[in-house]
Amino acid sequence: GVDAVDLIQQLERQAERFGADRKECGVRDVDLTCRPFKVYCEDGEVITSSAVVIATGASPRWIGAEGEQELISKGVHTCATCDGYFYRGKHAVVIGGGDTAMEQALFLARLASR
Protein backbone atom coordinates (compact mmCIF):
# COMPACT_ATOMS: atom_id res chain seq x y z
CA GLY A 1 0.00 0.00 0.00
CA VAL A 2 0.86 3.65 -0.25
CA ASP A 3 0.84 6.03 2.69
CA ALA A 4 -1.85 8.73 2.23
CA VAL A 5 0.65 11.59 2.55
CA ASP A 6 2.94 9.99 -0.05
CA LEU A 7 -0.02 9.47 -2.38
CA ILE A 8 -1.10 13.12 -2.16
CA GLN A 9 2.48 14.26 -2.80
CA GLN A 10 2.69 12.00 -5.86
CA LEU A 11 -0.64 13.36 -7.12
CA GLU A 12 0.52 16.95 -6.64
CA ARG A 13 3.73 16.29 -8.59
CA GLN A 14 1.73 14.69 -11.41
CA ALA A 15 -0.66 17.66 -11.58
CA GLU A 16 2.31 20.04 -11.75
CA ARG A 17 3.79 18.04 -14.64
CA PHE A 18 0.54 18.59 -16.54
CA GLY A 19 0.74 22.33 -15.88
CA ALA A 20 -1.91 22.61 -13.17
CA ASP A 21 -1.82 25.68 -10.96
CA ARG A 22 -2.52 24.83 -7.34
CA LYS A 23 -4.04 27.29 -4.94
CA GLU A 24 -5.22 26.40 -1.47
CA CYS A 25 -7.67 28.86 -0.05
CA GLY A 26 -10.86 29.02 1.89
CA VAL A 27 -13.62 29.88 -0.54
CA ARG A 28 -15.51 32.94 0.66
CA ASP A 29 -17.91 33.24 -2.29
CA VAL A 30 -18.51 32.07 -5.84
CA ASP A 31 -20.08 34.15 -8.62
CA LEU A 32 -21.77 31.94 -11.19
CA THR A 33 -24.01 34.69 -12.59
CA CYS A 34 -21.76 35.44 -15.58
CA ARG A 35 -18.75 33.98 -17.37
CA PRO A 36 -15.98 33.69 -16.60
CA PHE A 37 -17.06 32.35 -13.21
CA LYS A 38 -15.34 33.90 -10.20
CA VAL A 39 -14.13 32.18 -7.04
CA TYR A 40 -13.42 34.58 -4.18
CA CYS A 41 -10.80 33.32 -1.75
CA GLU A 42 -10.68 34.36 1.89
CA ASP A 43 -7.23 35.88 1.27
CA GLY A 44 -8.75 38.32 -1.25
CA GLU A 45 -7.59 36.59 -4.43
CA VAL A 46 -10.19 36.17 -7.16
CA ILE A 47 -9.83 33.18 -9.48
CA THR A 48 -11.65 33.29 -12.82
CA SER A 49 -12.56 30.22 -14.85
CA SER A 50 -14.87 29.00 -17.59
CA ALA A 51 -15.66 25.88 -15.55
CA VAL A 52 -16.16 25.09 -11.88
CA VAL A 53 -16.20 21.56 -10.51
CA ILE A 54 -17.63 21.32 -7.00
CA ALA A 55 -15.79 18.36 -5.45
CA THR A 56 -17.14 18.19 -1.93
CA GLY A 57 -17.35 14.41 -1.47
CA ALA A 58 -19.08 11.26 -2.69
CA SER A 59 -22.48 12.92 -2.45
CA PRO A 60 -22.34 16.46 -3.81
CA ARG A 61 -22.64 19.15 -1.16
CA TRP A 62 -23.72 22.29 -2.91
CA ILE A 63 -22.06 25.53 -1.91
CA GLY A 64 -25.17 27.70 -2.24
CA ALA A 65 -23.85 30.16 -4.82
CA GLU A 66 -26.43 32.14 -6.77
CA GLY A 67 -27.23 30.38 -10.05
CA GLU A 68 -25.57 27.15 -8.96
CA GLN A 69 -28.58 24.87 -9.53
CA GLU A 70 -29.48 26.51 -12.86
CA LEU A 71 -25.93 25.98 -14.17
CA ILE A 72 -25.66 22.27 -13.38
CA SER A 73 -24.22 20.66 -16.54
CA LYS A 74 -23.87 24.13 -18.07
CA GLY A 75 -20.48 25.02 -16.62
CA VAL A 76 -20.98 23.72 -13.06
CA HIS A 77 -20.33 20.03 -12.53
CA THR A 78 -19.76 17.59 -9.70
CA CYS A 79 -17.86 14.96 -11.69
CA ALA A 80 -14.78 15.93 -13.68
CA THR A 81 -14.30 12.41 -15.00
CA CYS A 82 -17.89 12.46 -16.30
CA ASP A 83 -17.93 15.96 -17.79
CA GLY A 84 -14.31 17.11 -17.92
CA TYR A 85 -13.99 16.72 -21.68
CA PHE A 86 -16.33 19.70 -22.14
CA TYR A 87 -13.50 21.83 -20.77
CA ARG A 88 -10.61 20.69 -22.95
CA GLY A 89 -8.38 23.71 -23.45
CA LYS A 90 -10.42 25.95 -21.12
CA HIS A 91 -9.78 27.30 -17.63
CA ALA A 92 -11.29 25.17 -14.87
CA VAL A 93 -11.54 25.49 -11.09
CA VAL A 94 -12.19 22.71 -8.57
CA ILE A 95 -13.88 23.68 -5.31
CA GLY A 96 -13.67 21.15 -2.50
CA GLY A 97 -11.25 19.32 -0.30
CA GLY A 98 -9.80 15.94 0.37
CA ASP A 99 -9.24 13.02 -1.94
CA THR A 100 -12.24 13.70 -4.18
CA ALA A 101 -11.17 17.24 -5.01
CA MET A 102 -7.59 16.13 -5.68
CA GLU A 103 -8.77 13.35 -8.01
CA GLN A 104 -11.01 15.77 -9.91
CA ALA A 105 -8.19 18.33 -10.19
CA LEU A 106 -5.71 15.75 -11.46
CA PHE A 107 -8.11 14.56 -14.12
CA LEU A 108 -8.84 18.12 -15.27
CA ALA A 109 -5.13 18.95 -15.30
CA ARG A 110 -4.76 16.71 -18.35
CA LEU A 111 -7.60 18.48 -20.17
CA ALA A 112 -7.93 22.10 -19.11
CA SER A 113 -5.50 24.79 -20.19
CA ARG A 114 -5.34 26.13 -16.64
The single residue of 29, 31, 41, 83 carrying the catalytic annotation is: 83
Catalytic residue list contains 83 = yes
Residue 34 appears among annotated catalytic residues? no
Q: What Å distances lie between residue 86 and 1, 4, 97, 98, CA to CA?
A: 34, 30, 22, 24
pLDDT averaged per 10 residues in sequence order, the chain, 114 residues? 76 84 84 92 91 73 85 82 82 82 85 86
Q: 0.75 exceeded by the pTM? A: no
Whole-angstrom CA distances from 33 to 16, 39, 47, 75 are: 30, 12, 15, 11
Catalytic residue flag (residue 29): no
